[in-house]
Amino acid sequence: KTALPGEINPGYWSEKVRAGRDEIEGYDPDLFEQQVKRYVAHSIRDGEAPRGLGREVTSEIFEQGDISH
């Protein structure tokens, strides 16, 4: 369990990947950010994203969130 709702629980996820450890290469926060921003941009461009999604993703994930786990 984590201190705040929505936080990543490293202990929980480490148990989940033990069986498939050879398939896990690593985590790159820069690559994560790049992929999320690309997905959001495509969704906005295609008209599939709700209004304000880009602003909320930036605020909630990249400015306030901790994606370095």
The terminus-to-terminus CA distance of the chain in angstroms comes to 14
Task: Reply yes or no on whether the pLDDT at 52 is more than 90.
Answer: yes
Provide the sign of the torsion angle of the four alpha carbons 11, 17, 21, 26, taken in this order. Answer: negative
1 pLDDT above the threshold of 60: no
Residue 32 has pLDDT above 80, yes or no: yes
34-38 — which CB contacts under 8 Å span 24+ positions?
36/61
Indicate the pTM of the whole model.
0.56
Q: Which of 35, 36, 42 is nearest to 58 (CA)?
A: 36
| Domain regions of the chain by residue span | 26-69
